[in-house]
């Protein structure tokens, strides 16, 4: 297969971790007989330095012309970086929001996996960590409360703030379909999370999700209220396969789920639209505190590249080869500093990438 991949190295540790993911992609392509061409794109602080803005029209067009985009992280230290003396619409993060909007990325996927090798980093009780977990949080990304009308005005002598939460059937249906499609590639269970005992938008969510579920008889659907889901994530995370939810609930639950894995440097993510296109990036930020030191953990970016092979190119076997290589390196006791524990062997960013490559055969 021929793959055209846009690459946004970004800021801080971005270039270091992306280089390792590209190395692993190249190795995978070599072993499985694919060819990859990369187009380097500037976004975030790196684009401000060159173009004066965090995202140019040309970059957006080039991203649209790619089959998928692999990204590091963008942004800098808000206290010291000159990027944060610009008005908010010109700062690095504005570029990311414009890119997501411009590419119509409405579905955000964040896996939360507890590797048995890293279970000591899990803050949950030992018997829960022992069972492990492997879930995918599917969050609606372009609707709901964060995109509704808002106002703050004085009414009857006091200030009143309003935020509107709106979902249409169409918005719910397209994310639900993505969620069920992904469940078909996993353990075939969807937990749809809402607040249907209170909110109209959640009652519509539940109705549409049930309609979509009827098209996927092989997938088990359960509904869960968001407050219960927040509890279940720490009580029994092993019960979850795909969690399907709206924007704000997903924002909160995905952070909770990532915390229970114990390591931000391990967490991949993908944002998808209604084509095969996706933007793949680690869940963490640009970590300016460790940038340039060669110690950042590249695994989240490498696993994001594996997600890209799976979701944008349907190369499930190749994606599994990368995931298995990551597990093998951890099993052999190699760790970057963020996941280091007693008795393990500490290595840097490049060596982690090299070692993962050696397991892709
Ligand atoms: P951060 O995730 O960059 O860092 C938090 C902590 O985690 C730091 O101690 C950092 O060293 C560590 N860390 C993060 N990724 C790591 C990795 N791969 N290996 C080892 N350690 C890692 O969060 P922050 O400090 O709040 O944000 C820094 C910058 O990143 C800000 O400018 C923020 O806006 C930006 N940011 C960007 C994205 C994105 O590009 N999608 C996401 C979140 C934050």
pLDDT score of 298:
97
With a cut of 90, say whether residue 225 has pLDDT above it.
yes
Mutation test of ligand 1: which of 287, 299, 336 has the most ligand atoms closer than 8 Å to its C-beta? Answer: 287
pLDDT score of 121:
83
Mean pLDDT of the chain: 96
Ligand 1 nearest atom to the CA of residue 338, by list position: 20
CA distances 215 to 27, 78, 105, 181, 240, Å, are 38, 47, 23, 10, 21
With a cut of 90, say whether residue 158 has pLDDT above it.
yes
Residues assigned a catalytic role: 146, 195, 227, 251, 255
Local confidence band at 262 (pLDDT 50, 70, 90 cut-offs):
confident
pLDDT score of 129:
92
In this structure, are residues 244 and 175 in contact, taking their beta carbons and an 8 Å threshold? Answer: yes
Residue-wise pLDDT tens digits, 108-140: 999 999 988 888 889 999 999 999 999 999 999
With a cut of 90, say whether residue 237 has pLDDT above it.
yes
pLDDT score of 265:
84
Residue-wise pLDDT tens digits, 73-106: 999 999 999 999 999 889 999 999 899 889 999 9
Residue labelled with tokens 């009580």: 235
In this structure, are residues 202 and 149 in contact, taking their beta carbons and an 8 Å threshold? Answer: no
pLDDT score of 13:
97
Residue labelled with tokens 């090798």: 117
pLDDT score of 310:
94
Helix (H, G, I), strand (E, B) or coil at 327: helix
- CA separation for the pair 47, 62 (Å, rounded): 14
Give me ligand 1 centre to Cα 210, in Å: 37
pLDDT score of 101:
87
pLDDT score of 217:
97
pLDDT score of 353:
98
Residue-wise pLDDT tens digits, 320-348: 999 999 999 999 999 999 999 899 999 99
Mean pLDDT of all residues in 23-43 = 98
Ligand 1 nearest atom to the CA of residue 71, by list position: 40
pLDDT score of 92:
96
262 lines ligand 1 (CB under 6 A): no
Neighbours of 218 (CB within 10 A): 8
In this structure, are residues 28 and 322 in contact, taking their beta carbons and an 8 Å threshold? Answer: yes
DSSP 292: T
Residue-wise pLDDT tens digits, 178-205: 999 999 989 999 999 999 999 999 999 9
pLDDT score of 152:
95
Give pTM, 2 decimals: 0.92
pLDDT score of 147:
87
């Amino acid at each position: 297969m021929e793959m055209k991949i846009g690459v946004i190295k970004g800021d801080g540790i971005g270039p270091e971790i992306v280089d390792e993911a590209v190395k692993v992609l190249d190795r995978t392509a070599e072993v499985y007989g694919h060819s990859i061409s990369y187009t380097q794109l500037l976004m975030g602080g790196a684009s401000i330095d060159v173009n004066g803005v965090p995202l140019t029209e040309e970059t957006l067009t080039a991203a649209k012309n790619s089959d998928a985009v692999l990204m590091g992280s963008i942004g800098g230290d808000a206290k010291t970086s000159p990027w944060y003396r610009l008005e908010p619409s010109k700062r690095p993060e504005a570029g990311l929001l414009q890119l997501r909007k411009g590419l119509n990325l409405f579905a955000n996927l964040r896996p939360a996996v507890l590797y048995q090798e890293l279970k000591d980093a899990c803050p949950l009780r030992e018997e829960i960590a022992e069972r492990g977990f492997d879930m995918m949080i599917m969050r609606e990304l372009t609707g709901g409360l964060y995109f509704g009308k808002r106002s703050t005005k004085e009414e009857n002598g006091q200030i009143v703030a309003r935020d509107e939460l709106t979902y249409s059937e169409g918005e719910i249906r397209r994310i639900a379909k993505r969620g069920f499609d992904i469940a078909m590639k996993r353990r075939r269970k969807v937990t749809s999370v809402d607040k249907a005992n209170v909110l109209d938008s959640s009652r519509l969510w539940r109705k549409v999700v049930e309609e979509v579920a009827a098209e996927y008889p092989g997938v088990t659907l359960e509904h869960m209220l968001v407050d219960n889901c927040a509890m279940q994530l720490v009580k029994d995370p092993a019960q979850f396969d795909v969690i399907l939810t709206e924007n704000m609930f997903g924002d909160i639950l995905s952070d909770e789920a990532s915390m229970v894995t114990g390591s931000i440097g391990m967490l991949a993510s993908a944002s998808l639209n209604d084509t095969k296109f996706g933007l793949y990036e680690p869940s963490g930020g640009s970590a300016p505190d460790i940038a340039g030191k060669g110690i950042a953990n590249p695994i989240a970016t490498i696993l994001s590249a594996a997600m890209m092979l799976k979701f944008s190119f349907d190369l499930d076997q190749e994606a599994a080869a990368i995931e298995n290589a990551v597990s093998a390196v951890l099993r052999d006791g190699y760790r970057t500093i963020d996941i280091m524990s007693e008795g393990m062997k500490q290595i840097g960013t490049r060596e982690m990438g090299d070692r993962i490559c050696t397991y892709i055969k």
